[in-house]
Chain A
Amino acid sequence: MIKYILKRLLALIPVILGVIFIIQFILYISPNDPAVVILGVDYTPEGAAQVRESLGLNDPFIVQFARYVLDLLRGDFGNSYVTGEPVAVQLAARFPNTLILVVVSMTLCTILSLPIGIQSAVKPNSWFSNITAALGMVGIALPTFWLGLMLILLFAVHLEWLPATGSVSLTGMILPAITLSASFMAGTMRTTRSSMLDCLNQDYIRTAKAKGVSHHDVIDKHALKNALLPIITVVGVNVGTQMGGSVLTETVFSYPGLGIMLTNGIKQTDTPTILGCLVVMAICIGICNLLVDIIFAFVDPRIKSQYSKRG
């Protein structure tokens, strides 16, 4: 088991390095000149050359990449081109907010969509199943940011129940979390439903029913346990997509997270900030994928047995 986890952990390193490489390469070939951003109105050709030299921007790409990764290991994300402050400070202040938002919306999404998906698979042609399927189709097609605006109109402007701007508090979190989770809820629900339907049609379910296992136990122990793998995969993938989706949600609600920092960074062509935000999000997603793999090992006895046999 530990061997499996270690192996996954090691496999994570080249992926994260690869992501950093791709992002940095994209930003490296950019025609934007950092010296212009840093110097602003004080721009002179000599000053610019000096700035580029001091930042090491004249070095070959591979050297820059290696330096960035080494700095990263010490927790140094470089300094913002616009404010001159360390990016790490900003990241440390904002990242927890985004993480909380994603966790809350993930939880919301999972605790609502799993039971609904299971129920609609158990009774596939009921009115409940049809209504949730239709809602799912609508939910997947709803643009996140539009849903957010509509929720603000309804709950903040009309009913005045909740604040229109998001914040890290109970009331400030409700609307952003619902907005962020809506489209994922639809996806998770559909996967749960189809995965459960697959399992319920298997022979072992018929056997279980025939030998007199209660309806409840058939669903819980025999069907759900086997249907879990695709559901876990989807939930894991969702975390990554939610990180991306949080950019829009945060903009709609002016929620103080990584998303707004990233958007502002892009608008100001502040490369270290852009790089920092993307790298933190990518590491987060990598860790999530790792967690999914580990959960897989616990749920799927095939993986467990593979490693226990060898030692």
Chain B
Amino acid sequence: MGSNTTTEVLTRNAILKQFKKKTPMQEIMIRFVRNRMAVVGIIIFAVILFCAIFADFICDYDTMVVKLNVAERLQGPSAAHWLGTDKSGRDVFARVIHGARTSLWIGFVATALSLLIGGILGAIAGFFGKWIDELIMRVMDVMLCLPEMLLAMAIVAAMGANVVNMILAIGISRVPRFARIVRSSVLTVRGMEYVEAARAIGARNGTIIARHVLLNCLGPIIVQVTLIFASAILAISSLSFLGLGIQPPAPEWGNMLSEARENMRDFPHLVLAPGMAIFLSIFSLNLLGDGLRDALDPKLKQ
């Protein structure tokens, strides 16, 4: 009799568990994991992130990445140098690994900067409307008339080529994109009842924007963050390739490509590795962004 009741309770729990409503977060996770391309993207990106974080444990910076070693210059792939060496005898594999750290780190800071500025501007424009909106969005429209690459180049031209200025250049040139997306998200949320309710109980504008409005338009912002992160990584290597970003001997994929150009004819492996690294980081972030968009907003998916 006693054992019978236990089984009954157990079955009931199992059934209940089966029918228990999943939280929105769980549903998003499930949709994301079902998307094969998104999973591929996140795996590739995790590997790159791992390399960036543990670069010092994989290869020593001082002896392999930046030290001149003319005796071993321009070697092909071997056991000692997995991807060969460049024209100064530096290990290409080590430089690619440490390049990941440079790109991801700068890309992250630049994206965070543009999210911060663009988010604040977009939220103000969308929330207050009227002339503030008009003013901010006109300036953003003018900035959008200049391609991001050119705007970044103008900023680097004015300030000089170094890491801080590159972060500023890449961050500022992507502000309009964030401002627009945050503004349009805020506009859709602004009229909701819960915003009105928050105002009714006496919440201040800043609190309403941060706690009630922005939190409810996180989805499109997160997607945009991954895509802009990808474009920032591309911009870092583009600027460095032109000689306007990270200068050698510091390891960066773009300046590695630029240096490898001279010897490309005889040593094609020098251009293959850094290029693949750039491609894979952008590719994985794009897949991740697309996957997140589909997972966060299933209505968009056809």
A-side residues, CB < 8 A to B, are 15-16, 18-19, 22-23, 26-27, 29-32, 137-138, 140-146, 149-150, 152-153, 157, 197, 201, 240-241, 243-245, 247-248, 251, 262-263, 265-267, 269, 274, 278, 281-282, 285-286, 289
Answer whether A281 and B275 are a contact pair too, CB < 8 Å, given A32-B158, A149-B257, A286-B145: no
B142, chain A: closest CB distance, angstroms: 4
- The answer to whether A138 touches B283 (Cβ under 8 A) is yes
- The answer to whether A278 touches B257 (Cβ under 8 A) is no
Measured between alpha carbons, how far is A290 from B257 in the docked complex, in Å?
Answer: 37
For this complex, 9 residue pairs linking A to B, each with C-beta atoms less than 8 Å apart, are: A22-B146, A26-B155, A150-B271, A201-B302, A244-B150, A247-B150, A251-B242, A282-B145, A285-B146
Write the chain B residue with the least CB distance to A244: B147
- The answer to whether B142 touches A248 (Cβ under 8 A) is no
Write the chain A residue with the least CB distance to B230: A141
Contact with A along B126-162 (1 / 0, CB 8 A): 0000000000001101110111111001111111100
Answer whether A143 and B286 are a contact pair too, CB < 8 Å, given A248-B241, A265-B157: no
- The answer to whether B302 touches A245 (Cβ under 8 A) is no
- The answer to whether A22 touches B275 (Cβ under 8 A) is no
Measured between alpha carbons, how far is A286 from B146 in the docked complex, in Å?
Answer: 9
B7, chain A: closest CB distance, angstroms: 47
Measured between alpha carbons, how far is A245 from B147 in the docked complex, in Å?
Answer: 9
Cβ contacts under 8 Å, B278 to chain A: 143, 146
Measured between alpha carbons, how far is A27 from B138 in the docked complex, in Å?
Answer: 21
Cβ contacts under 8 Å, A245 to chain B: 147, 149
Cβ contacts under 8 Å, B154 to chain A: 23, 26-27, 274, 278
Contact with A along B100-115 (1 / 0, CB 8 A): 0000000000000000
Q: Is B17 located at the chain interface by the 8 A CB criterion? A: no
Q: Across chains A and B, which 4 residue pairs bring their CB atoms closest together, nearest first?
A: A244-B147, A30-B158, A18-B142, A244-B149
Cβ contacts under 8 Å, A18 to chain B: 138-139, 142, 145
Q: Select one of B139, B147, B158 contacting A243, CB under 8 A.
A: B147
Cβ contacts under 8 Å, B283 to chain A: 137-138, 141
Q: Is B279 located at the chain interface by the 8 A CB criterion? A: yes
Of B18-26, B55-63, B81-89, B261-269, the one touching chain A: B261-269
Measured between alpha carbons, how far is A15 from B274 in the docked complex, in Å?
Answer: 39
A223, chain B: closest CB distance, angstroms: 15
Cβ contacts under 8 Å, A16 to chain B: 145
Answer whether A15 and B238 are a contact pair too, CB < 8 Å, given A30-B158, A274-B154, A281-B150: no
Measured between alpha carbons, how far is A86 from B242 in the docked complex, in Å?
Answer: 25
Q: Select one of B158, B264, B265 contacting A27, CB under 8 A.
A: B158
